[in-house]
Amino acid sequence: MTTLLEVDSISVTFDGFKAINDLSLAIASTGLRAIIGPNGAGKTTFMDIVTGKTRPDRGRVLWGEGGMNLVGLSEARIARLGLGRKFQRPTVFEAQSVAENLDMALKNPRQPLRLLLARRTAADRVRVEAIAEEIGLRAHLTRRAGELSHGQKQWLEIGMLLAQDPKLLLVDEPAAGMTVAEREHTTDLLKRAARTRAVVVVEHDMEFVRRLDCRVTVLHEGRVLAEGSLDHVTADPNVIDVYLGR
Amino acid sequence: MTIAPAAALRPRFVLAGNPSVLWALLVLAIFTLGVSFLSEGMGVGLISTSFVKTLGKTLCLCLAAVAMDVVWGYCGILSLGHMAFFGLGGYAIGQWLMTARTTEIVAQSLAGQPLPPTPRELEQAVATQIFGVVGADEFPWIWAFSDSLGLQLLMVVLVPGLLAGLFGWLAFRSRVTGVYLSILTQGMTLALSLWLFQNDSGLRGNNGLSGLQNIPGLDGWGQATLSVAFLWGSALALALGYVLFAWLTSGRRGSVIRAIRDDEARVRFLGYGVEGTKLLVFTLTAMVTAIAGALYYPQAGIINPGEVAPLASVYLAVWVAIGGRGRLYGAALGAALVSLLSSWFTSGGVPDVPLGFATIRWTDWWTVLLGLGFVAVTLLAPKGLGGLFDLVPRRPSRRQGDWGPDDGAWRREEG
Ligand SMILES: Nc1ncnc2c1ncn2[C@@H]1O[C@H](COP(=O)(O)OP(=O)(O)OP(=O)(O)O)[C@@H](O)[C@H]1O
Ligand SMILES: [Mg+2]
């Protein structure tokens, strides 16, 4: 299987505190990957670096076949290359409708002048509907995103990710604030998405990770502590020590 | 709920999808026709020529306010420098007006001489006439195109467009936002006005440009007719600007512009070039504001550097805030109301209030009243005067389904 993303010994320091410490990680071009770790392990910071929000002090982030280095590129440029991101705190555009949120995310030309002249095509509308159906918000297309429940906002943001049609989805704590039934729906969504692309999920909830049924990477103090199946990593004494044992 | 979801994004012609635009245009048309009918120049003479000019100028201010609403209310860039572009538009058209007018007068006075003046002599005489007040007798280089109406009209949009483009490029590229950006825009307009105040700026220092109400070639018209013509011109510009901005803030582009206002970092992660989009909005609104200025100053008759003082741009923001940002008609309403009230109060039209121990002279106290009004609107009606339209009960229409189950009218305006 080919590697889509390769993080090569990155480090980042915030005010003398090493949030990411010589981290290396490779993500295959299809399938799920879960990243777990205690609070402050550097999971979100890892996503910040990959998506261009934070610049690492050292190291490279290599993307795709050609091994293009993403470090130093703008957030928008990285997103256009095919990296989509869902934030830990759901961030949708609350003043706009669900349909408008999805429509904005659709894979369409992004340059200011092209955007200026863009028209919403029939194909766009069909796609928005299909995604809304998939995330269970079809009946809510015309509602303001701000009126949605917390779980629905999470789905909307996942839907926006799907609309972008990225090669890699980085999903930060998708199940936070969801009911059990909603969590199951979310697991299904992510599993389906992972059939054709790479999906990286950061999650605290062990049951949720178990249901994802995929390779797990444990982060601790900004570096990889263990990697393998969930059963494998949960049996690792180091992991039990720093994370599960508490 | 049995709404056909496809309707949520159904593309519609801007006007049809947005009834408030049609209403605004209708009100504007009725206003313009009504004023023309009551004017001295065209109709029964109930409205004086000077008041027709005031109303024409007000329409120009409305256009500037609508542009300000797009850049601030929709795109979230609180520019406190847009009146600099307004002033530049006025200076650009003023250069042609002064040159052409002075050339006419000088040519006339030299016509009686036995030898007709050479073009060079004529030019020098005109230059002395215009720049004598600042001790110069040659056209400065920035007047290079001032003898051509076409080129000078181009300068009306080009010069402010370039300034806005350069300023925006530098500011947005370094991701300056919020208060810092506002301060920078204040700095820009302050620097411009200080430069204009200098005699060697080439724009007649603090004398400014004057006599702009006389339109060369249209001497036969008289001010009464001209005032109505400018009222129509201003109304047309406002209508076109309004439709342009209604279009700009509709559809996906409008969606992205509002998204930038609400969370520009998030928009970046969707792959949109936030800087480019902001630059586009900033520059476009600057150019429209400049056109408004180019129509305003021939009606005012005079422009001087004080017009681009930082305070002017702050007032523009206040008008938009009072009118209600995020809705175009709100901005126009705020600008019209406040600027008309302001000229009423400051021209001594309102009688003084004797309090016994002191007298309230409105020419001095108007700014206090305006300040209190601003505070009151901010506290009591955060959506501004335009928000009052939300209180009008709407009869359920077919369109309601398109824009959501609860009747939030603003979305329909914005959508
Ligand atoms: N911009 C920043 N400035 C300073 N410190 C930061 C910054 N971003 C993250 N940190 C610190 O870096 C460490 C890693 O943070 P990060 O958000 O990546 O953790 P996390 O693994 O996502 O934790 P959680 O499970 O709580 O979301 C934390 O100690 C955090 O306080
Ligand atoms: Mg986190």
| B296-330 per-position pLDDT tens digit | 999 999 999 999 999 999 999 999 999 998 999 99
- Asked if residue B172 belongs to a domain, the reply is yes
Q: Which ligand is nearest to the CA of A19?
A: 1
**CB of A243 closer than 8 Å to CB of A38:** yes
Label residue B397 by pLDDT band (50, 70, 90): very low
Contacts of B221 (CB under 8 A, 6+ apart): B215, B229
> How many angstroms separate the CA atoms of B203 and B189, rounded?
16
Which among A94, A100, A125 is the nearest to B6, CB-wise? A125
Indicate whether residue A38 lines ligand 1 (CB < 6 A).
no
- Asked if residue B402 belongs to a domain, the reply is no
Label residue B403 by pLDDT band (50, 70, 90): very low
Is A76 in contact with B266 (Cβ distance < 8 A)?
Answer: no
- Predicted pLDDT of residue B207: 94
Label residue B365 by pLDDT band (50, 70, 90): confident
Is B271 in contact with A80 (Cβ distance < 8 A)?
Answer: yes
Indicate whether residue A172 lines ligand 1 (CB < 6 A).
no
Q: What is the pLDDT of residues A141-197, one digit of tens each?
A: 999 999 999 989 999 999 999 999 999 999 999 988 888 888 999 999 999 999 999
- Predicted pLDDT of residue A245: 56
> How many angstroms separate the CA atoms of A220 and A212, rounded?
21
Indicate whether residue A14 lines ligand 1 (CB < 6 A).
yes
Kindly state whether A204 is in contact with chain B, defined as any CB-CB distance less than 8 angstroms: no
Indicate whether residue A101 lines ligand 1 (CB < 6 A).
no
> How many angstroms separate the CA atoms of B126 and B131, rounded?
8
The answer to ipTM > 0.90 is yes
- Asked if residue B13 belongs to a domain, the reply is no
Kindly tell me if the per-residue pLDDT of B395 is higher than 70. Answer: no
Count of beta carbons in the 10 Å neighbourhood of residue B62: 30
- Predicted pLDDT of residue A10: 95
- Asked if residue B87 belongs to a domain, the reply is yes
Q: Quote the domain boundaries for residue B329.
A: 20-392
Label residue B14 by pLDDT band (50, 70, 90): low
Contacts of B185 (CB under 8 A, 6+ apart): B79, B80, B81, B82, B167, B313
Interface of B with A (CB under 8 A): 1, 3, 5-11, 248, 251-253, 255-256, 258-259, 262-263, 265-266, 268-274, 276-277, 279-280, 401-405, 408, 411, 415
> How many angstroms separate the CA atoms of B11 and A104, rounded?
14
- Asked if residue B182 belongs to a domain, the reply is yes
Please state, in angstroms and as integers, the Cα–Cα distance from residue A138 to each residue in A37, A145, A183, A223, B194, following that order: 35, 13, 18, 41, 58
Tell me the pLDDT of chain A averaged across its residues. Answer: 92
Q: What is the pTM of this model?
A: 0.91
Residue with tokens 């720049």: B131
Which among A119, A141, A144 is the nearest to B5, CB-wise? A141
- Asked if residue B405 belongs to a domain, the reply is no
Count of beta carbons in the 10 Å neighbourhood of residue A69: 13
Averaged over B54-65, what is the pLDDT? 97
Beta bridge partners of A60: A8
Kindly state whether A114 is in contact with chain B, defined as any CB-CB distance less than 8 angstroms: no
Kindly tell me if the per-residue pLDDT of A93 is higher than 70. Answer: yes
Express as a percent the part of chain B with pLDDT over 70.
Answer: 90
Averaged over B281-301, what is the pLDDT? 97
Find chain B residues with C-beta within 8 A of A95's C-beta: 258, 262
Report the nearest atom of ligand 1 relative to the CA of A48.
18
> How many angstroms separate the CA atoms of B142 and A28, rounded?
62
Instruction: Show the CA angle centred on residue B121, arms to residues B120 and B123, nearest 5°.
Output: 65
- Predicted pLDDT of residue B413: 40
Averaged over A103-110, what is the pLDDT? 93
Contacts of B187 (CB under 8 A, 6+ apart): none
- Asked if residue B274 belongs to a domain, the reply is yes
DSSP for B70-109? IIIIIT----S-HHHHHHHHHHHHHHHHHHHHHHHHHHHH
Kindly tell me if the per-residue pLDDT of B411 is higher than 70. Answer: no
Domains by residue range for chain A, with CATH:
3-244 (3.40.50.300)
**CB of A167 closer than 8 Å to CB of A50:** no
**CB of A40 closer than 8 Å to CB of A242:** no
Label residue B16 by pLDDT band (50, 70, 90): low
| Chain A residue with Cα closest to B279 | A112
Averaged over B189-196, what is the pLDDT? 96
Q: What is the pLDDT of residues A33-81, one digit of tens each?
A: 999 998 889 999 999 999 999 999 999 999 988 899 999 999 999 999 9
Q: What is the pLDDT of residues A210-234, one digit of tens each?
A: 999 999 999 999 999 999 999 999 8
Is B403 in contact with A142 (Cβ distance < 8 A)?
Answer: yes
* Cβ burial B12-48 (10 Å sphere, 16+ → b, else e): eebeebbebbeebbeebeeebeebbeebbbbeeeebe
Our count of domains for chain B comes to 1
- Predicted pLDDT of residue B15: 56
Which region among A98-107, B43-52, B370-379, B395-404 has the lowest average model confidence (pLDDT)?
Answer: B395-404
Which among A93, A94, A132 is the nearest to B5, CB-wise? A132
- Pseudo-torsion of CA B126, B129, B134, B135, nearest 10°? 80
Question: Which residues have beta carbons under 5 A from ligand 2 (an ion)?
Answer: A 43-44, 88
Averaged over A113-121, what is the pLDDT? 90
| Chain A residue with Cα closest to B267 | A76
Averaged over B102-114, what is the pLDDT? 87
> How many angstroms separate the CA atoms of B403 and B411, rounded?
7
Q: Which ligand is nearest to the CA of A43?
A: 1
- Asked if residue B173 belongs to a domain, the reply is yes
Please state, in angstroms and as integers, the Cα–Cα distance from residue B139 to each residue in B95, B125, B155, B217, B369, following that order: 11, 10, 17, 22, 45
> How many angstroms separate the CA atoms of B283 and B167, rounded?
9
> How many angstroms separate the CA atoms of A67 and A77, rounded?
16
Estimate the crossing angle of helix B328-346 against helix B222-248, to 10 degrees: 150
Half-sphere exposure of B118 (CA within 13 A, CB side): 3
